[in-house]
Amino acid sequence: MKEKISTLLSQVEAFNASSLEELEAFRIKYLSKKGLIPALFDDFRTVAPEIRKEMGQLLNALKNTAQERIVALRENMEVATQETKSDKDLTLPSMASLGTRHPLSIVRSEIIDIFARIGFTISEGPEIEDDFHNFTALNFPEEHPARDMQDTFFIEKNPDLALRTHTSSVQVRVMEKNQPPIRTISPGRVFRNEAISARAHCIFHQVEGLYVDTNVSFADLKQTLFYFAKELFGEHTQIRFRPSYFPFTEPSAEMDVSCNICGGSGCNICKYTGWVEILGCGMVDPAVLEACHINSEKYTGFAFGMGIERITMLKYQINDLRLFFENDVRFLRQFKSAF
């Protein structure tokens, strides 16, 4: 029996495992209920009394050695597994770069800041709008082409609802809930069923402004927009107003600024004219005021609306509007310092 114990002890001490499966097989072979070491304990009953003490000590030492060997091998495997999982040097400096604000967000914030300095507050509204707020209250006649499917994304299950085509709907909601004086801008995303090109997209962003009070004139509108354009594009910027038509303003105008992409020589953004139209504006039509329960005999007002994409293209000399929606990091990295 002493020879068996010695042989098993040598096997236990020499054993090494490369996986938990091998270690479990070793435990079953040597220490399970029917294993080799428990079998020796069964044979221990037949050992002569004079050597029983010695054999008992040897058997206990063998069992303890086998158990300690299993524990040591399992701990080594757990350490090796943790080292494999964390094979990266966590003391190295981070390779991640800081993100940047999107150019549209930068320009949107700048526009808001310019108008905030002259007393305009911010108002927001839903992107899914009903017919009254998006069209009717703004003096759009029933046959107006903007109501047609070619220009508007209507909600299929409810033809009275559509994705808003302008943030003027927010101005209607403001006038419904507040009496003059009102001085607010409404930034937001709008949707129109247009072909996507370098100059147009079916999704774009607007900032629309509204000022309603007593004795508001077209001169007030012009001075407000002159201030805005000079603050945004610089004192060198040339500005002009052209007569236009919008259902919700009368008289109406479009405002152009000199194209700083081509310097006035002509490019695809300014349609080779040297000028870029950046916003529409005009005096609020009395019918719009009355639809919003504001006395048009007492109050007058002006409104304007601009596309943020067009202004951003001018400000950063970008010649393709589609770049704003493609998430190309090579493009976005150019605005790292533009906070």
Side-chain-side CA neighbours of residue 92 (13 Å): 6
The set of residues, in sequence order, having a beta carbon less than 8 Å from that of 73 and lying 6+ positions away, is 15, 16, 17, 23
What is the rounded distance in angstroms from the CA atom of residue 185 to the CA atom of residue 149? 28
- 36 vs 98, more confident: 36
DSSP-assigned states of every residue in 209-263: EEEEETT--HHHHHHHHHHHHHHHH-TT--EEEEEEEETTEEEEEEEEEE-TTTT
Q: What are 264-294's pLDDT values in tens digits? A: 777 776 778 888 889 999 999 999 999 999 9
Would you say residue 338 has pLDDT above 60? no
Structural domains in the chain, CATH included, are 2-85 (no CATH), 103-335 (3.30.930.10)
Alpha helix stretches (DSSP H) within 86-129 = 103-116
Most confident residue range from 28-37, 55-64, 106-115:
106-115
Q: CB count, 10 Å around CB of 56?
A: 13
Q: What are 112-138's pLDDT values in tens digits? A: 999 999 999 999 999 999 999 999 999
Where does the pLDDT of residue 161 fall: very low under 50, low under 70, confident under 90, or very high at 90 and above?
Answer: very high
Chain centre distance of CA 132: 31
Q: What's the pTM?
A: 0.67
Taking Cα atoms as reference points, which of 282, 284, 281 lies closest to residue 305? 281
Q: What angle do CA 268, 263, 246 make, to 5 degrees?
A: 60
* Ramachandran class of 74: left when φ > 0, alpha when ψ lies in -120 to 50, beta otherwise: alpha
Would you say residue 253 has pLDDT above 70? yes
DSSP 119: T
- CB-count exposure of residue 13 (10 Å: 0-12, 13-18, 19+): exposed
What is the rounded distance in angstroms from the CA atom of residue 317 to the CA atom of residue 113? 21
What is the rounded distance in angstroms from the CA atom of residue 276 to the CA atom of residue 238? 11
Residue 251 confidence (pLDDT): 95
What is the rounded distance in angstroms from the CA atom of residue 185 to the CA atom of residue 121? 6
Residue 219 confidence (pLDDT): 96
Amino acid at 31: L
